[in-house]
């Protein structure tokens, strides 16, 4: 093959940094439900919301730790 003879070096992809937050879309995918269900659960369970921006174009994020604690608290196991 033609070219300059220089080989391109390949770099391993860096591991993704785990965010402290989940977006509503993340939770829709994680929980396999609708956005309205995510909003309803978040309201009912009192999840802390981080609101960035205002109005229709603002964004909402939920604290990862709270979401994971909620999930853990809702696990159902077999009775002994």
- 62 by Cβ neighbours in 10 Å (0-12 / 13-18 / 19+) ranks as buried
* pTM beyond cutoff 0.85: no
* 12-68 confidence digits (pLDDT tens): 655 567 899 999 999 999 999 999 999 999 999 999 999 999 888 899 999 999 999
Is 14 part of any domain?
A: no
Is 37 part of any domain?
A: yes
User: What is the tally of structural domains in the chain?
Assistant: 1
73, 67 contact by CB (below 8 A): no
Is 45 part of any domain?
A: yes
Is 64 part of any domain?
A: yes
Is 6 part of any domain?
A: no
- pLDDT for the residue 15: 58
pLDDT over 60 at 5, yes or no: no
Is 9 part of any domain?
A: no
Range of the domain at 64: 21-73
């Amino acid at each position: 093959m033609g070219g300059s003879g220089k080989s391109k070096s390949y770099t391993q992809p860096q591991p993704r940094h785990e965010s402290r937050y989940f977006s509503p879309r993340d939770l829709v995918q994680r929980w396999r439900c609708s956005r309205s269900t995510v909003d309803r659960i978040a309201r009912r369970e009192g999840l802390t919301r981080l609101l960035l921006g205002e109005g229709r174009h603002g964004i909402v994020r939920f604290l990862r730790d709270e979401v994971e604690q909620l999930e853990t608290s809702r696990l159902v196991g077999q009775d002994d």
